[in-house]
Amino acid sequence: MRSRRAIALGIGLALELLGCQRAAAPADIPSRVASLGPPNLVLILVDTLRADYTTPYGFAQDTSPELARWAERGVVFERVRAQSSWTKMSMASMLTSLWPRSHGIREAQDGLAEEAVTLPEVLRKAGYATYAVQTNGWLHQSFGFHQGFDRYMFPKAGGDPRLGQASLWPHADRVVEESQRLIDAHDRSRPFFLYLHFMDVHEYAAPPHLKTFGTDSRGAYLAAIRWVDDAVERVREQLADAGVLDRTLIVFAADHGETFGEHGVHGHARNVLTPVVWVPLVFRFPFPVEPPVRVPTQARNVDLAPTLLDLAGAPIPEGFEGRSLVPLMTGEADEPDRPTFAGLGVPLFPDASVQTAVSDGAWTYARNATPSEDDPEAYEGKAIAPGAEFLFDRHLDPGENANLVDREVAEAERMAALLDAHIAKQDEGVVEKGVRIDPSIAERLRAMGYLR
């Protein structure tokens, strides 16, 4: 006798096939989404995931088969850059559609102030139920990231015997479990926005049977990607099981990447060069897109919130600094690469730089901070190589190995001027200073080396 879950899953899949098997041309994506009524929105955020280590972005080993299936029927943005390599700064930009210079978060005890306008707040005003399952300490509700959510879940961390390692943060299974509870309890008369944040890749965590990519840290990182991809597949199955997949847009994104020795550092939150800001962005629509779309135009994580609001038919706040990506995915716009900016505030690690960067698609320029005239001790003993400049030719040197700042002087000056003009627009931000960090969260952040 078939289990009730198997029967329900079969019904859900049948409904999906009946309702959404007809493919949509890229130009028809907005009208097909609109025909569903306000779609359910699921944002899956994988912490510390660099794009080029995933299957849809050409990685040689099959780290992400589920994501590859989405790419074969949806929309992939090939060149997306995050706004920081530190989660708190990056996610503040993603959820408020503000550049780091505008939201103002730069330090460990900074949080989002109440006046910040967030994506879930706008969606809730548009009639959405808003849920989050959060697993990163920097996004704890004490830092203000719960704004706009009806439910902001932060599951207790616990060891998973299958992983064979201690856990500082909740692992993928806990996220999937809480996701199931939220989906099951949801009032189907309203659309929902569900944000799921996975920390397993950040922790290099995976069960033994998936550790087939090597025994070094890079191999553990790849196994963690495979583990989270499996969890993402289970989330899709949950939506099908509940009978809502045919009305749900799922977006796969990351807050920043990871380095394995590039530019002499390991990890993240040390600089804002390409290995730590090039992130995946894949859209899975409730219907296949035929032909599937791969967008080569450079885009930014700051563009994600206005894109989701655009597809939901909700108003985009005037203060949002990103722009909808819908014209790029439909082919309506043939625009040049979008310039993108990134920043890293007061260092969390001894080998980190206080750095800002700009990329216009062809060139990347980055500059380390120098002590300011009004506060000469601000970065004393904290910044690596104060005032150092970096210029990379993204076409000839995509790995950013050759610093051309002294050879391509004109390009360096042009890019520096672009960065200066951007920074000059800095305002007071939407930041709350001196936030008291929850003691249990502070203890775990300290264990990871973020706090001293």
Confidence band, pLDDT 50/70/90 cuts, at residue 379: low
The token duo for 202 is: 């950040």
| CA 211 to chain CA centroid, nearest Å | 24
On the 0-12 / 13-18 / 19+ scale of CB atoms within 10 A, 411 is middle
Of 4 and 189, which is predicted with more confidence?
Answer: 189
For 131-157, give one letter per residue: b (16+ CB within 10 A) or e. bbbbbbbbbbbbbbbbbbbbbbbbbeb
Residue 3, pLDDT above cutoff 70 = no
Range of lowest pLDDT (67-71, 169-173, 192-196): 169-173
pTM of the complete model: 0.93
351: confidence class by pLDDT, cuts 50, 70, 90: confident
Contact yes or no for 22/255 (Cβ under 8 A): no
pLDDT-based confidence at 380, cuts 50/70/90?
A: low
Residue 94 has pLDDT above 90, yes or no: yes
Residue type, 93: S
Are the CB atoms for 411 and 392 separated by under 8 Å?
Answer: no
H-type alpha helices, 363-408: none
Give the pLDDT score at 452: 75
> What is the C-alpha separation between 398 and 46, in angstroms, rounded?
23
Q: Is the pLDDT of residue 51 over 70?
A: yes
What is the reported pLDDT for 157?
76
Query: Taking residues 97-121, what's their average pLDDT?
Result: 96
pLDDT of residue 372: 66
Q: What distance in Å separates the CA atoms of residue 38 and residue 308, rounded to the nearest whole number?
A: 11
pLDDT at 381 (0 to 100): 54
Mean per-residue pLDDT, 19-39: 91
> Which tens digit of pLDDT belongs to each residue from 179-198?
999 999 999 999 999 999 99
Query: In terms of Cα–Cα distance, which of 310, 330, 312, 334 is closest to 320?
Result: 310
pLDDT at 448: 85
Q: Nearest CA to 284 among 9, 71, 6, 48?
A: 71
Longest distance between any two alpha carbons in the chain, whole Å: 76
Least confident among 1-15, 32-46, 350-364, 382-396: 1-15
Average pLDDT rounded to a whole number, residues 356-368: 97
- Token duo for residue 394: 């993204």
The pLDDT value given to residue 105: 96
Across the range 77-104, mean pLDDT stands at 97
Residue with tokens 């300490």: 137
Q: Look at residue 419 and tell me whether its pLDDT is greater than 50.
A: yes
**What is the Cα–Cα distance from 102 to 429, expressed in whole angstroms?**
5
The H or E element spanning position 445 is helix 439-447
Under the phi-then-psi rule, with left for phi > 0, alpha for psi from -120 to 50, and beta for the rest, what region is 37?
left
First-last CA distance in the chain: 57
- Between CA 435 and CA 437 the distance in angstroms is 6
pLDDT tens sequence across 204-231: 999 999 999 999 999 999 999 999 999 9
Closest CA to 120 of 154, 144, 96: 96
Mean pLDDT on 172-180: 95
Calculate mean pLDDT across residues 27-44. Answer: 97
Q: Which structural domains are found in the chain, ordered by start? A: 4-330 (3.40.720.10), 340-447 (3.30.1120.10)
317/308 Cα distance (integer angstroms)? 12
Spatial distance between the Cα atoms of 322 and 94, rounded to a whole number of angstroms: 9
Which pair of structure tokens corresponds to residue 125?
Answer: 């005003």
